[in-house]
Amino acid sequence: MSSSSNHDHPLIPLSHLGDLSVTEFLSDYWQKKPVCIRNGVAFQEALIAVDELAGLALEPEVESRLIENKGDVKDWQVIHGPLVEADFNKERDFPWTLLVQGVDCFVPQVHDFLSKFRFVPSWRLDDIMISYATQGAGVGAHFDRYDVFLIQGEGQRQWQIGQACSVNSALMAHNQLCLLQNFDVHQEFILNPGGLLYIPPLIAHKGVAMSDACVTYSVGFRSPSYGDVLASFADERSTDISADLRLKDQGFASKSGEISAMDIAALMQFMQAQITPENVAQWFGKHSTEAKYPALNMSEEAMDQAELEAIIKDGYGVLRVSEGVRLAYTWQGDGGLTLFVQGEALPCPPDVTVFIEAIANQWVLEVEDIVPLLAHDAAKAMLLILHNQGYLYFADE
Ligand code: SIN
Ligand code: CO
């Protein structure tokens, strides 16, 4: 279905990380052990200019931090964004790092780069954080609870990899940074531009910039804790259950101070009845596509059916998933599917499924290829809804 021009599109997921095939990477390293891949990713150019990154850190809707390595680790300063011009103009005689979270939500090239990691399901992708550091700077020895690819964009960085950590790992007394008290160095690498380091959850790591203008891209993944899973599922179910339905007496135990086994059994039966494939899929689809920044205004200029027909007739350009939009689908029993987008569930009848599958799996469609996907009016109507909500947009490339 894709035309040949779509074949080399930047949104196509990677098949290799350097010389390692993604299949080998997933079976040997993913969620198992760290791996350093020199020339892991080929860049034609920087994903973002340094002044654009600094500009993002000034914006109130962008999450950013500046960490100054002044003096002892416990005295390191953290300035939380939005930053102000003066934070950048200040002369510093000690190393510092600027970290900007969720850059893929704001910069199309960074969103495209994130899409290359869709060799894991796209609902698992969290965001791309970009750091800019001066020589000698770092955020200290720490661990993250999610998988991460650390990719060197510019300059050089030394990475040290340490022990597996847990909730019991001792942390330093710092009120803003979660830094490890003990760091046992097991491996050490120096990454040049294009070099990639994969680190599984809970593995200690520490990076230090070996040059000025050291830019590192961190591709982070979503990994909800089981605690969050239970809390969020219960929350979703609770909104669907009528407040009129209450616990019923199951007969009484002989002692008034006792909670009877019959009461416990009845509670379990009620709770277990909530765990159906439909309920779990409906909740998880919404939960896993929740926006990282729900306050971001996504709205596109509304388009009507005639304007859509004109774009299709022109056959020029592409239809893209908007930056920061998360979407995923599950199949329904009737041959239709439910599209989950930004935490909302949209039931789609069978006539709409080819279009939804194509956009959710490819993230970009050549306009000249979408005609057969929109054979039914219901599919065009769905495209208009998604476009007018700001979830999809038309672009030149
Ligand atoms: C950095 O880019 O400096 C820190 C990234 C990380 O360790 O997770
Ligand atoms: Co980290």
Ligand 1 and 144: CB distance under 6 A? yes
Ligand 1 and 101: CB distance under 6 A? no
Q: Give 258-311 pLDDT, tens digit per residue.
A: 999 999 999 999 999 999 999 999 999 999 999 999 888 777 789 999 999 999
Q: What share of the chain is helix, strand, coil (3-state, %, to 5)?
A: 30, 25, 45
pTM of the model: 0.94
Q: Give 108-121 pLDDT, tens digit per residue.
A: 999 999 999 999 99
Ligand 1: which of 165, 218, 219, 221 to mutate, most ligand atoms within 8 Å of CB?
218
Averaged pLDDT, 89-99: 93
Ligand 1 and 97: CB distance under 6 A? yes
Nearest CA to ligand 1 atom 8: 218
Nearest to 161 by CA among 29, 252, 279: 29
Q: Give 159-196 pLDDT, tens digit per residue.
A: 999 999 999 999 999 889 999 999 999 999 999 999 99
Ligand 1: which of 216, 217, 219, 221 to mutate, most ligand atoms within 8 Å of CB?
216
pLDDT of res. 175: 83
332-336, 349-353, 383-387: which has the minimum mean pLDDT? 332-336
Query: Ligand 1 centre from 89 Cα, in Å?
Result: 23
Q: Give 62-79 pLDDT, tens digit per residue.
A: 999 999 999 999 889 999
Task: Express as a percent the part of the chain with pLDDT over 90.
Answer: 87
Dist. CA 318–CA 370, nearest whole Å: 9
Residue 397: pLDDT over 90: no
Tokens of 241: 């259950």
CB 396 within 8 A of CB 317: yes
Averaged pLDDT, 222-240: 96
Atom of ligand 1 nearest to the CA of 137: 3
pLDDT of res. 294: 85
Ligand 1 and 155: CB distance under 6 A? no
Average pLDDT score over the chain: 94
Q: Give 131-158 pLDDT, tens digit per residue.
A: 999 999 999 999 999 999 999 999 999 9
pLDDT of res. 56: 98
Only one residue has tokens 């550091």, namely 133
Residue 10: pLDDT over 80: no
Cβ neighbourhood burial of 280 (10 Å; 0-12, 13-18, 19+): middle
Nearest to 22 by CA among 201, 149, 146: 149
pLDDT of res. 8: 58
Nearest CA to ligand 1 atom 4: 139
Query: Ligand 2 centre from 200 Cα, in Å?
Result: 10
Averaged pLDDT, 7-22: 86
Atom of ligand 1 nearest to the CA of 129: 2
Atom of ligand 1 nearest to the CA of 209: 3
pLDDT of res. 3: 41
pLDDT of res. 64: 98
- Kindly provide the residue ranges of all beta strands, DSSP E only, lying in the chain, ordered along the sequence: 16-17, 20-21, 35-37, 64-68, 77-80, 96-100, 125-133, 148-154, 157-164, 187-191, 196-199, 203-209, 214-221, 318-321, 327-331, 337-341, 344-348, 364-366, 392-395
Neighbours of ion ligand 2 (CB under 5 A): 144
Q: Which helix (H) or strand (E) holds 383?
A: helix 377-388
Q: Which helix (H) or strand (E) holds 138?
A: none
Ligand 1 and 9: CB distance under 6 A? no
Task: Express as a percent the part of the chain with pLDDT over 70.
Answer: 98
Atom of ligand 1 nearest to the CA of 205: 7
pLDDT of res. 51: 95
49-53, 90-94, 326-330: which has the minimum mean pLDDT? 90-94
Averaged pLDDT, 352-369: 96
Residue 2: pLDDT over 50: no
